[in-house]
Amino acid sequence: MANDVKDLGSESLAGQPCPMCNTKNLTLAEAQSEIPFFGKIFVFSMHCSNCHYHKADVEAAEQKEPCKFTFEVDGKDDLSVRVVRSSEGIIKIPHVGSMEPGVNAEGFVSNIEGVILKFKKQIELLRDSAEEEEDRKKAKNMLKKLQNVLWGSEKLKMSIEDPTGNSAIISDKAVRSKI
């Protein structure tokens, strides 16, 4: 994790039964961190070394109110802004797409650049599997836009909504509101 995240310790438990392949190759892990302006968080994860099943989530130590954070990326410096997403958080980039909660949703701590790269990866998969030329063209245009944002030559709005309050965009420029 980045230097602005203070590691408060971690624990792991190996040799647990995997819910997918039923072997005892699952490792459960819990880590505690302190993120400036957000507070103490717990990162929970499980990973199977046999079938590579993986699940992770992020929870705030304190009860939080449902919230929405909106942020405008308007230069390369904004790419390093910290993003905390719980498995309940919805990340939206207008005219590009959204990262929705669901059965396989995972929580994570990243930055704006990491979130954009996650979107790029999903759009590349859609582009490569699209049957219609128009769909491939739309995907290519979205990828071009995201690449321009990464180069610092185009602006981008991003929001994250979380009914549990366990997600945030950590920046003075981020606008927090209720949902």
* CATH number for position 40: 2.20.25
Closest CA to 5 of 30, 35, 28, 27: 35
Task: Specify whether 131 is located in the same domain as 173.
Answer: yes
Closest CA to 41 of 75, 14, 68, 1: 1
Task: Specify whether 85 is located in the same domain as 113.
Answer: yes
**pTM score > 0.95 for this model?**
no
Task: Specify whether 122 is located in the same domain as 42.
Answer: no
Task: Specify whether 114 is located in the same domain as 27.
Answer: no
Q: Which whole number is the average pLDDT over 162-173? A: 93
pLDDT tens by residue, 41-97: 888 999 999 999 999 988 888 878 999 999 999 999 999 999 999 889 999 999 999
Question: What's the total number of domains in the chain?
Answer: 2
Which of 62, 91, 107 is the last residue before a domain boundary?
Answer: 62
Task: Specify whether 168 is located in the same domain as 82.
Answer: yes
- 118-122: list long-range contacts, CB under 8 Å, 24+ apart: 119/93, 119/146, 120/146, 120/147, 122/97
CB 99 within 8 A of CB 90: yes
Domain residue limits at 95: 64-179
> Is residue 114 very low, low, confident or very high in pLDDT (cuts 50, 70, 90)?
very high
What's residue 3's pLDDT?
53
Q: Which whole number is the average pLDDT over 102-114? A: 87
Which of 32, 62, 92 is the last residue before a domain boundary?
Answer: 62
> Is residue 106 very low, low, confident or very high in pLDDT (cuts 50, 70, 90)?
confident
Is the confidence at residue 116, as pLDDT, over 60?
A: yes
Task: Specify whether 58 is located in the same domain as 139.
Answer: no
Q: Among 28-37, 106-115, 164-173, where is mean pLDDT lowest?
A: 28-37
pLDDT tens by residue, 123-150: 999 999 999 999 999 999 999 999 999 9
What's residue 76's pLDDT?
95
- 41-48: list long-range contacts, CB under 8 Å, 24+ apart: 41/84, 41/109, 41/166, 43/107, 43/109, 44/107, 46/16, 48/18, 48/20, 48/21, 48/23
Interatomic CA distance for residues 142 and 162, integer angstroms: 25
What's residue 5's pLDDT?
67
**Exposure of 47 in the CB half-sphere (CA atoms within 13 A):** 7
Task: Specify whether 86 is located in the same domain as 109.
Answer: yes
Which of 62, 93, 114 is the last residue before a domain boundary?
Answer: 62
* CATH number for position 166: 2.60.120.1040
What's residue 87's pLDDT?
87
pLDDT tens by residue, 21-42: 999 999 999 999 888 767 788 8
